[in-house]
Amino acid sequence: MEILTQINDGILTINFNRPEKKNAITFGMYQAMADALNASNDDKNVSVVVITGKPEIFTAGNDLEDFMKNAASLASSDMPPVYQFMHALNDAQKPVIAAVSGNAVGIGTTLLMHCDLVYAADNAKFSMPFTQLGLCPEFASSMVLPQIAGYQRAAEKLLLGEAFSAQEAHEMGLVNKVLPLEELLPYAEKQAAKIAALPAKSIRLTKSLMKANQPQAIRDKMNEENAHFGAMLSQPEAREAMMAFFQKRKPDFKQFN
């Protein structure tokens, strides 16, 4: 099981469980997470959701082999599992807490922008290397990150795609709190238990009021980004980036300038 789910005392835990592949996410894993999130909306046994990975790795982002094998679906009118997951997290009616340790690459970082609380271990490292892959931002990060961090800081992270620390993520407002690794999951679970003990209707309404019209705006931005993202996958720059990745070399983009 590459995605582990369990419900305990009102807390649904969704756990990346593919450490041998650095928790790289396949379409099957996206589908499992989307299904779990969608089911939680109407499950009276679930009051709050926790998304986590392993102590050494949150997720390396998309599994590139699986991703390229299914790339055609990203440019079609279908709703592939990765987009189903994006919509499920955006539409989650109950609070979602992320507990992040190790690397959080690509969607491993952008998904955090749609969680209600984000806690990071001091070994966490974040990156959104979309431009380095000849692609563009996804999961409405081109809209949401500037809202969270301010335009200049968001531009630095999205244009350069370079990794940044848990402390910087905290300073940006992407992370609520940075903790020692051994304290991360117990703290996130303690916060989740506090929420689970509160009146469910109050929690859901409070989240809904804070989100206001944002979910629809995010859907619109996701659709815009996804159209560009799907088209860019077939462009020479992305092909060069993917080939360089598999050949373990530095890509050469100068030929396309």
Q: How confident is the model at residue 152 (pLDDT cuts 50, 70, 90)?
A: very high
Biggest alpha carbon–alpha carbon distance for the chain:
59
Confidence (pLDDT) at 68: 85
Sheet with 57-59, edge to edge strand ranges: 57-59, 103-105, 125-127, 164-165
The residue type of 250 is K
Q: How confident is the model at residue 82 (pLDDT cuts 50, 70, 90)?
A: very high
The one-letter amino acid at 223: N
Burial of 197 (0-12, 13-18, 19+ CB in 10 A): exposed
- Closest listed residue to residue 177, CA positions, set 125, 112, 119, 109: 119
pLDDT, average across residues 137-145: 98
The pLDDT > 70 percentage for the chain reads 99
Which residue in 187, 149, 215, 207 sits closest to 52, CA to CA?
187
Q: Which two tokens stand for residue 228?
A: 């560009």
CB 16, CB 52: distance < 8 Å: yes
**In whole numbers, what is the pLDDT of the chain averaged over residues?**
96
42 band by pLDDT with thresholds 50, 70 and 90? very high
Count CA atoms closer than 13 A to 157's CA, side-chain side. Answer: 27
